Structure 1
Amino acid sequence: MVFEMEGYRAICQEKWAINKTIITGGDSDFFARKLKKPIFANQNLVLLGLNRILDYNA
């Protein structure tokens, strides 16, 4: 899975010059340690976003 993510990132870099990778979910810390390039990893990104929406609407 790590090699697949690295390959997909390389393709995106070539085609669109994308330099940032964001990984979310329960295994994001595992993949963040295994990938060669720096990434943004947060296990609770969706929950943080939902909480921000809740706070905004309160």
Structure 2
Amino acid sequence: YGGVELEFGQNYIIPKPFDPRVLIWEASAVAKAAMDSGVAKIKIDMDKYREELEARLKRAK
């Protein structure tokens, strides 16, 4: 976003669609919902999953 650091707060409530931080929380929420509903056949450690997503984003930069 043009080098602008976006920070959630009064002026930035709804994240932009390509804000990479959305991936971490949205993917985690989908994975948790799949586990909670029984759709996912494998249970995962959510903290480790988020850490792995963050690491992947850092490598992709």
More helix by share: 1
**TM-score normalised over the length of structure 2:** 0.31
TM-score, length-normalised on structure 1?
0.32
The structure with the largest strand share of the pair is: 1
